[in-house]
């Protein structure tokens, strides 16, 4: 069950309404970095959580807070739309050079709502849940959550720098602080589970002896001239899980050229593709292109 009251989590006030900033705030509601995304992500992670109940409860608690953030931002959008022009004529009469309608206001705030927020991003694209990540793996989900909070905090800091309204800066300062805590919170879960060393590779429940260990800790380079890839902490020294040493080497093709069977009749291919004649027209054309690109092809 979820309960609510009529109070906001934190004060939301707008001293100078700005319909253009209302549009920018939409990104924090329905953008891929926004509050709808993290709210649903944490809810679905929690509703499918297995294992210690405290992690499910933590996710539920955080998801519920994100509902409060959506409410705050929706209120901020509505307050920024106070006295917004309802027509281009009205807008031009008020300010022909820098009017809200002519210079960036989301017209759907007029056409689709009565000057209120939408479940969409700053370009008017409805939120579609394509960036809600809930894998059922606790460590993987925590890392996804840190990323979500990081991009959300990036967005909030950009919005903070876009406005001079004291009320909006105050609200965004609070949201930025909550993003800071949530990053720490999810990293603390990873630490409590044993840190990176105890959780990598994810999933650590898969027997690591069943993977091709020759390629588990090597950085492969794909430069055609054989030069090594960029070196760093990832290419030498002990691995972060403490199970091996990093190395690097150029990648060499390990498989042959793929050979597919001829098309099956009735599958929609051209009849020319179904005939014999060696590699056929398509194959010869492909090799001709490759020869042109690589003159020394032998």
Q: Which residues pair with 247 in a beta bridge?
A: 218
pLDDT reading at 278 higher than 70: no
Q: Among 45-49, 59-63, 100-104, 250-254, whose mean pLDDT is lowest? A: 100-104
Q: Which domains does the chain have, with CATH numbers?
A: 19-197 (1.20.1260.10), 208-250 (no CATH)
CA 156, 161, 162, 168 torsion-angle sign: positive
Counting residues of the chain whose pLDDT is more than 90, the rounded percentage is 74
DSSP 8-state secondary structure symbol assigned to residue 120 = B
Compute the distance between CA of residue 116 and CA of residue 71 in angstroms, rounded to an integer: 12
pLDDT reading at 282 higher than 90: no
Three-state DSSP class for 234?
A: coil
The two most distant CA atoms of the chain are separated, in Å, by 78
pLDDT in tens, 1-60: 888 899 999 999 999 999 999 999 999 999 999 999 999 999 999 999 999 999 999 999
pLDDT in tens, 224-234: 998 889 999 99
Per DSSP, helices labelled H in 163-279 are 166-192, 195-199
pLDDT in tens, 156-212: 999 999 999 999 999 999 999 999 999 999 999 999 999 999 999 999 999 999 999
pLDDT reading at 260 higher than 50: yes
Tell me which residue has tokens 């050079």.
97
What is the band of 107 on the pLDDT scale with cuts at 50, 70, 90? confident
Q: Among 131-145, 199-213, 227-241, 270-284, whose mean pLDDT is lowest? A: 270-284
**CA gyration radius for the chain?**
27
Tokens of residue 275, six digits: 């005939």
Compute the distance between CA of residue 239 and CA of residue 197 in angstroms, rounded to an integer: 9
Strand residue runs (E) in 105-232 = 218-221
What is the band of 106 on the pLDDT scale with cuts at 50, 70, 90? confident
Compute the distance between CA of residue 91 and CA of residue 262 in angstroms, rounded to an integer: 65
Q: What integer best gives the mean pLDDT of the chain?
A: 90
What is the band of 273 on the pLDDT scale with cuts at 50, 70, 90? confident
* Cα of 121 vs its chain's centroid, Å: 13
pLDDT reading at 93 higher than 90: no
Q: What is the pLDDT of residue 184?
A: 98
DSSP 8-state secondary structure symbol assigned to residue 105 = -
Compute the distance between CA of residue 182 and CA of residue 151 in angstroms, rounded to an integer: 12
pTM summary value: 0.84
Q: How many CB atoms lie within 10 A of CB 7?
A: 8
Q: What is the pLDDT of residue 298?
A: 44
Q: What is the DSSP string of 235-266?
A: TSEE-TTSSSEEEEEE----S----PPPPPTT
């Amino acid at each position: 069950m979820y309960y609510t009251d009529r109070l906001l989590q934190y004060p939301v006030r707008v001293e100078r309404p700005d319909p253009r900033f209302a549009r920018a705030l939409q990104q924090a509601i329905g953008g891929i970095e926004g509050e709808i995304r993290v709210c649903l992500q944490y809810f679905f992670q929690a509703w499918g959580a297995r294992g210690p109940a405290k992690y499910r409860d933590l996710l539920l608690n955080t998801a519920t807070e994100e509902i409060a953030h959506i409410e705050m931002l929706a209120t901020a959008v509505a307050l920024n739309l106070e006295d917004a022009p309802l027509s281009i004529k009205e807008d031009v009469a008020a300010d022909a050079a820098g009017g809200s309608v002519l210079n960036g206001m989301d017209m759907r705030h007029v056409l689709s709502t009565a000057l209120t927020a939408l479940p969409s991003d700053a370009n008017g694209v409805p939120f579609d849940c394509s960036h809600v990540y809930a894998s059922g793996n606790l460590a993987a989900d925590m890392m996804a959550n840190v990323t979500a909070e990081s991009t959300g905090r990036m967005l909030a800091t950009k919005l903070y720098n876009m406005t001079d309204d004291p009320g909006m800066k105050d609200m965004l300062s609070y949201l930025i602080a909550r993003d800071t805590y949530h990053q720490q919170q999810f990293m603390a879960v990873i630490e409590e589970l044993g840190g990176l060393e105890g959780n990598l590779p994810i999933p650590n429940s898969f027997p690591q002896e069943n993977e091709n260990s020759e390629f588990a800790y090597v950085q492969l380079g794909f430069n055609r001239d054989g030069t090594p890839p960029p070196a760093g902490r990832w290419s030498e020294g002990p691995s972060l899980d403490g199970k091996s040493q990093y190395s690097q080497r150029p990648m060499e093709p390990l498989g042959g050229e793929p050979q597919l069977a001829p098309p099956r009749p009735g599958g929609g291919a051209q009849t020319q593709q179904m005939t014999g004649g060696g590699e056929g027209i398509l194959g010869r054309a492909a090799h001709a292109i490759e020869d042109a690109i690589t003159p020394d092809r032998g």
